Structure 1
Amino acid sequence: MKRGLVSITFRRLGRDEIARHCRAAGLGQIEWGGDVHVPAGDLEAAADAARLCREYGIEPAGYGSYYNAADDFCKFGPVLSTAAALGAGYIRIWAGRGKEYDEAAEENISRAVREAADKNIRVSLECHRKTMTEDPRLAVRLAEETGCLLHFQPNPDIGFEENLRALSLSAPYLCACHVFSWERGDVRLPLSAQARQWREYAKIAPDVPFLLEFVKDDDVNNLYSDAETLKSILETD
């Protein structure tokens, strides 16, 4: 299984530091975030991130954009051009600003999928609280109707078994898994505290990248221990 890092785990670090720590931690992919490290429309930043990936032998797996399908579709253009300059295989977008179904947002998702396909880039929805993808059944429906993929991450507001069911439903449409260890109330823990749960998740999604996102105390030293834990999780499944 491929292991990687979501760059927004360390928003305070520069692109070079992100790539350097990713490589040193034995991680082979980066999902570059669109809020700090590679802003939408900043093609120089995208080219620099792509250069760093080449230099460190890392794959620029995806572009973690902050385009929300509830917004005007014209905002997607700079996102797409930035992802192309980065060499990203996918663009992560957001599915509205509430749990309720939004027809206009679904149409924007469909348009994003079509336009990105022209550049051989996939579009993936973040499975996230307070968006349409909070309900895994609606997330799957959007994937089936628009052709998008899905980014799984556990919802800390619900239990492990419910998260496991959500992943099982989403599995045929998965693009990647965002890996973190949170308790209810968004309390961050070392990944080792939830290694058992992640071993079960990995059994359901053996063919997608597992990308570390957030670490306890935002401490870069904890990246290294979490990366070792992730390696042990994935190498035993």
Structure 2
Amino acid sequence: MPASSLRPGLVSITFRGLAAEEVLREAVAAGLEGIEWGGDVHAPHGDLAAAERIGHATRDAGLALPTYGSYLRAGAGGPGQPPVAAVIASAAALGAADVRVWAGGTGSAEAEPADRAAVAAGLREACDRAADAGLGVALEYHAGTLTDTADSCLALLDAVDRPNLSTLWQTTNGASDAHSLATLRRLQPRVRHAHVFEWDTGAADQRPLAAGADRWRRFLGELAAPGVERFCLMEFVRGGTLGQFHADAATLKGWLAGTHPPA
């Protein structure tokens, strides 16, 4: 039976209140294998010294850097928007393989053709700059953006038409398990990594990860693919406590140990 192609990791903004060194220490103690460092707190956009320091520390601890979690919204202007160049430079300084980018700030049902064109143009710029730095770009799969449905996400990936562009995946808030599974099946060939959390509509009803065993085993089975390495990145835990984090990490690792790609 082929070995599992899925690896356990953490999105650092799960613990925005902890210093990067503390997040790293807890991830190592939990036996995780990679960290997506957030661009808002732990590795701020454009702070190359911080990115280099965190990147070195992460690699020295034996963990991978699958993604830099930027808050760049392609095609969206306005105050607070990080410059594309600063985001790519931070991802490169960190040593991440990919940089996460958001698909604008308007949901697919409300987006006008001009909105879609602006997001696609912004993503082409991000992809081209990332390619020059040897990086990939992974879209945040999220409500309120052009990746809020599988149809819109696939259309955007095709419109941008860059070989270094992929998408992340996560369950859709308020949607049925069947809907989330169907979405994953459609996107699967173009999914880079997954964000893992256990809730129905948001953090207010978050549960221990073990409570979602049935559905998450189905999701993980769909994510596993021969020759494709993907990280399953824990994002948020019930109550934001370290105790729940370590319990959820043990749960995730147990599931991954029993998940194998199709022969």
1:232 match? 254
SS in 1 for 2:107: coil
Question: 2:231 is matched with which residue: 177, 202, 209?
Answer: 209
The whole-number CA distance in structure 2 between the counterparts of 1:80 and 1:185 is: 30
How do 1:147-226 and structure 2 match up within 5 A?
147=162, 148-186=165-203, 187-206=205-224, 207=228, 208-226=230-248
2:38 is matched by which residue type in structure 1?
G
1:44 and 2:49 correspond: yes
1:86-165 equivalences in 2 (<5 Å):
86-100=94-108, 101=111, 102-146=116-160, 147=162, 148-165=165-182
Aligned residue pairs total 237
Q: Deviations over 1:85-107 (max 9, x none)?
A: 00000000100111134211111
CA shift, 1:234, in A, is: 1.2
Give the greater-gyration-radius structure (CA). Answer: 2
Note closer, same or farther for the CA distance 1:74–1:197 as it changes in structure 2 (3 Å cut).
Answer: closer
CA displacement at 1:59 relative to structure 2: 1.1
Instruction: Kindly indicate whether the alpha-carbon contact (under 8 Å) linking 2:11 and 2:234 is maintained by their aligned counterparts in 1.
Output: yes
Q: Is the 8 A contact 1:99 1:135 kept in 2?
A: no
Does the Cα contact within 8 Å between 2:65 and 2:96 map onto a contact in 1?
A: yes
Change (3 A) 1:185 1:112: closer
CA distance in 2, matches of 1:129, 1:205: 21
TM-score (norm 2): 0.87
For residues 139 and 97 of structure 2, what CA distance do their matches in structure 1 show?
14
1:81 matched to 2:72? The reply is no
Equivalent AA in structure 1 for residue 107 of structure 2: K
Alignment check: 8 A CA contact 1:3 1:29 kept:
yes
2:57 is aligned with what amino acid? L
Relative CO higher for 1 or 2, CA cutoff 8 Å, sep ≥ 6? Answer: 2
CA distance in 2, matches of 1:185, 1:89: 29
Amino acid across the alignment from 1:82: S
Q: Which moved more, 1:18-27 or 1:46-55?
A: 46-55
Unaligned 5+ residue runs, structure 2?
Answer: 1-5
**Shift in Å at residue 185 of structure 1?**
4.6
What root-mean-square deviation, in Å, do the aligned CA atoms of Structure 1 and Structure 2 show? Answer: 1.4
Aligned partner (choices 30, 33, 37) of residue 28 of structure 1: 33
Measure how far apart 1:5 and its partner are: 0.5
* Aligned residues of 1:183 and 1:189 also touching (Cα < 8 A): no
SS of equivalent to 1:133: coil
Cα offset, 1:74, TM superposition: 7.7
8 Å CA contact 1:69, 1:94 repeated in 2: yes
Q: Percent identity at matched positions?
A: 35
Map of 1:37-76 to 2, 5 A cutoff?
37-72=42-77, 75-76=83-84
The Cα offsets for residues 78-136 of structure 1, whole Å up to 9 and x where unpaired, read as: 00000000000000010011113421111111111111011110001111011110011
Cα deviation digits, residues 126-178 of structure 1 (max 9, x gap): 11011110011110122233232101010121111001111111111111000
Stretches of 4+ aligned residues off by more than 3 angstroms: none
Deviation at 1:196, TM superposition (A): 1.2
- In 1, Cα distance between equivalents of 2:47 and 2:82: 16
Match of 1:193, SS state, is helix
